[in-house]
Amino acid sequence: MAEYMLYFLGWRIFVSSVGLLGNVLLILSIIQTMSSRVKSFELFLMGLAAANLEEIVIINIYEVIILQTSSAAIGTWSCQLLQFLTLFGETASILFTVIISIFRYQKLRDAERRVNLPIYLDNIRSAWKLSGVCVMISTLLCIPIFAIHPQGSAGNLTRNGSSCPPDFFQCDENHCPTFNRVYKYLFSLLCHLLPLVIVTVASCLIIAVLLSQRKVVAPAVSVSQSGQLSKKSTDHRLNRSTIAVVAAMGLFQIDWTLYLIFQWTFSTIDLLLLAQVEFFISTSYTSLCPYVYGIGQNLFSLKKFKRKVFKTLV
């Protein structure tokens, strides 16, 4: 088991490093490319990247302080605070993904008839309000973690006998408080299953819109050649961005489907192994999605990187 844990630790460091680099680069790229007027989609991407960063940092602090050290003298308050911050980052990342999927579908729906007319979420004030609501909902959904007191034999909770288990809802099978069970079911339903359904439906609708647009041939007879080129360039950027969103949503669906399967089907296997598997499943999205969005939004461009390096040297 020790060899497997060392193997998992190596991959954990690699995945975390990739995630930290990708999310930091995404935030910096958005900040550098933003004009005087912030766009709603850029704001949602920054919120997603910030939530991903917070989750990756806290979950690794949790691993190092509690699971990897030999000290078991950690207070209940410190344990619950780390659990709260971990769940908060995870929930905020999920909610921002839901917002991005809904926003992209609204931008594509009836685009031909709406032309350049904005939608509700194009208003930056509305985007800020929705981002604030996302943070508030994440906080409210995670606050009950302070009322949970994990129970069970210390030897089964962690590898070092710590009183802070890797499974936040862990309790003794013979005596598990009703609140623990209820909160676990509600949290999984509201923060995992429901967003998974929404993102899946949104991705299907986006794909349906893209397929219908490809079937419609609308030759612009009265439009000038320069106007046609400008429209084609805009449509290409929009389609590339949309494909990136669909790809990220597909990654989200795979990851959280596997997470729910492991959470509810393999709960009887070793808790340490389950914690490692769930870590890789949950953080693979937070680590890979910034690269998907960055490439799709043309934020991670080799030409831009060379241009920045040239300016720095000059």
Neighbours of 168 (CB within 10 A): 22
Which amino acid appears at position 21 of this protein? L
312 within some domain: no
Q: pLDDT for 211-227, tens place per residue?
A: 887 765 444 444 444 44
Is the pLDDT at 138 greater than 90? The verdict is yes
Q: Is residue 310 part of a domain?
A: no
Q: pLDDT tens digit string along 39-96?
A: 888 899 999 999 999 999 988 887 776 655 544 556 677 778 888 998 999 999 999 9
The answer to whether position 82 is within a domain reads yes
Query: What letter does residue 241 receive in the DSSP assignment?
Result: H
Establish if 13 belongs to a structural domain: yes
pTM for this predicted structure: 0.83
Q: Quote the pLDDT of residue 177.
A: 75
Q: Highest mean pLDDT range out of 56-70, 163-177, 181-195?
A: 181-195
Tokens of 18: 């990739």
Residue owning tokens 């790809």: 247
Asked whether the predicted pLDDT for residue 305 surpasses 60, the reply is no
Looking up tokens 């691993």 gives: 63
Q: Could you tell me the maximum CA-CA distance found in the chain, to the nearest angstrom?
A: 77
Residue 45 lies in a domain: yes
pLDDT digits (tens, 9 = 90+) for 288-298: 999 999 888 87
Both tokens assigned to 71: 């000290």
- Region of 37 on the Ramachandran plot (φ > 0 left; ψ -120 to 50 alpha; else beta): beta
Query: How many structural domains does the chain have?
Result: 1
Structural domain that includes position 141? 2-303
Give the domain CATH number at 170. 1.20.1070.10
What is the radius of gyration, based on Cα positions, of the chain?
22
Q: Average the pLDDT over each of 9-18, 89-98, 267-276, 304-313 and give the range with the smallest value.
A: 304-313
Q: What is the pLDDT of residue 272?
A: 61
Under 8 Å between Cβ of 182 and 162: no
The C-alpha atoms of residue 103 and residue 183 are separated, in whole angstroms, by 30
Compute the distance between CA of residue 273 and CA of residue 109 in angstroms, rounded to an integer.
44
In a domain, 314, yes or no: no
Q: Is residue 311 part of a domain?
A: no
Q: How confident is the model at residue 157 (pLDDT cuts 50, 70, 90)?
A: very low
Section 189-215 average pLDDT: 89
Domain annotation covers residue 313: no
- In terms of Cα–Cα distance, which of 136, 163, 162 is closest to 148? 163
